[in-house]
Structure 1
């Protein structure tokens, strides 16, 4: 395993603390002392493979603490906060992300008999230990960076292999849920997209649940089961993440940022911001601007 991880690290040598896009479709690499505020964001659906170091991700009231070699799954767009740490012997943090391709996933599930998959469902988000087969699949995929002319022909096979191993793992049930047209996941996914597009508007859970064709209590339960947080928490975290961007990068005042993202009460904004990020909006923004 150590030799596999070492070679992956060499292939990712060009990466930096900013997510680095590769020539492989939907594959990004990040390496080094990634600023904590950069890891507080809306995560897109992805599989993240931690090659070196460790990472902590907070999703709602759940916290995943992982060390290399391990992986995590984000099945849908969702707000999360995180931090990273160096590996043993001072090796920089390194992770590779494969963003989920719905068509590739659906085709794979169609091709494999349903009784092949483990039925066990664990409602929690967990970090998963990466075994040698899983790591080797990532290595084969990343080796294509040395022969980009082979990417169109070979990448789909390696992507499929990584998806297959993830489907077999302890969080594979989350991926399978995405492909059941009559299941709960597609309905919740639709509501997530609506909330993301309308997070500045007043929250009307009856309206959102109605769009999903669900009763309010059922919608609330299924939403939290899939995302780890309630619908209103989801909206609040989207507002707070957007407000932080406005404060740090767009020069908004605290009051302007609060109103811009939909808050009617500045005191409520200050209170919820401080609870989510650990310090007041003004202090947090000042600190992050100094970091550049």
Structure 2
């Protein structure tokens, strides 16, 4: 479980969000996937069901009322076990792999109990798994239940895309062929593209490019003046193409963006905790 607190509105950041649920305690945040925008505020939660490169931004925060959120990873094994115990099949789900809903009282109570267990490591070790299981169950039976249930179903569209993402992520800096990915998954290229775009709002190659640029951004924070080397390290043969695509995604040339990030990520700049 992660806790985030920020006293200021932040610039948009792109990061790969793994399957998780995040509850907003105070303030508001915005996440963008492709052309779709998701705003969520106090009393709401956002669910992400596969690894997604989201552009996210805190949009409501101040020193008097800082943005606060709590995040928890979603575990396919727990969801699969609950599906078996309840003898309930995973319902069909055709939407994207991110959604926002209001949190009901039972779900919020379970989250608060899990947070309180963090104060005592022994209590958390013994009682925490049961509360995490309860949170999964409540999510499976909530407004986004169909999407959450797909995470635990081995033959779902979500599972297919998750396997594609698992294949793509370690190959972000390589030249890949769609034939190889489709063959690995045992589907046709057209079927792969259709399912992948439905879940992630982008093609596999577009997804790979976002992974490349995110890896480059992280590397540039440590080496802001070595733009060409960073570009080559993430798979770009042309420094000009790297700079052009980087600027298109982040709004600034690589070196300028890295300098801005160094300031924003400074511990004294008002952000605390692990990003959600």
Distance between the aligned counterparts of 2:178 and 2:11, measured in 1?
29
Residue of 62, 70, 95 corresponding to 1:123: 95
- Answer whether contact 1:53 1:93 (CA < 8 A) is retained: yes
- Give ranges in structure 2 of 5+ residues lacking alignment: 267-276
- Answer whether contact 1:61 1:229 (CA < 8 A) is retained: no
Structure 1 residue runs of 4+, over 4 Å off?
Answer: 34-39
* Partner in structure 2 of residue 186 of structure 1: 159
* Partner in structure 2 of residue 77 of structure 1: 51
Over 3 Å counting, the alpha-carbon distance change for 1:39 and 1:134 in structure 2 is: farther
Distance between the aligned counterparts of 1:35 and 1:42, measured in 2?
20
- State the number of aligned residues: 264
- Answer whether contact 2:7 2:65 (CA < 8 A) is retained: no
Distance between the aligned counterparts of 1:101 and 1:260, measured in 2?
32
Q: What TM-score does the superposition give when structure 1 sets the normalisation length?
A: 0.82
* Partner in structure 1 of residue 270 of structure 2: none
CA deviation map 1:69-97 (0-9, x unaligned) = 11111112221121113459931111111
| Residue 197 in structure 1 maps to residue 175 in structure 2 | no
* Partner in structure 2 of residue 113 of structure 1: 87
CA deviation map 1:251-283 (0-9, x unaligned) = 452211211110122222222211211222222
Residue of 128, 131, 139 corresponding to 1:166: 139
Give the 5 Å matches for 1:1-292: 27-33=1-7, 36=10, 39-86=13-60, 90-114=64-88, 119=91, 121=93, 123-124=95-96, 125-251=98-224, 253-291=226-264, 292=266
Over 3 Å counting, the alpha-carbon distance change for 1:72 and 1:173 in structure 2 is: same
Select between 272-281 and 182-191 the one with higher mean Cα deviation. 182-191
Over 3 Å counting, the alpha-carbon distance change for 1:237 and 1:86 in structure 2 is: same
RMSD: 2.3
Distance between the aligned counterparts of 2:197 and 2:142, measured in 1?
22
Over 3 Å counting, the alpha-carbon distance change for 1:34 and 1:77 in structure 2 is: farther
CA deviation map 1:150-195 (0-9, x unaligned) = 2233212211121112112332222222222233332321221111
Q: What TM-score does the superposition give when structure 2 sets the normalisation length?
A: 0.87
How far 1:36 moved relative to its partner? 4.3
Distance between the aligned counterparts of 1:172 and 1:61, measured in 2?
24
How far 1:215 moved relative to its partner? 0.4
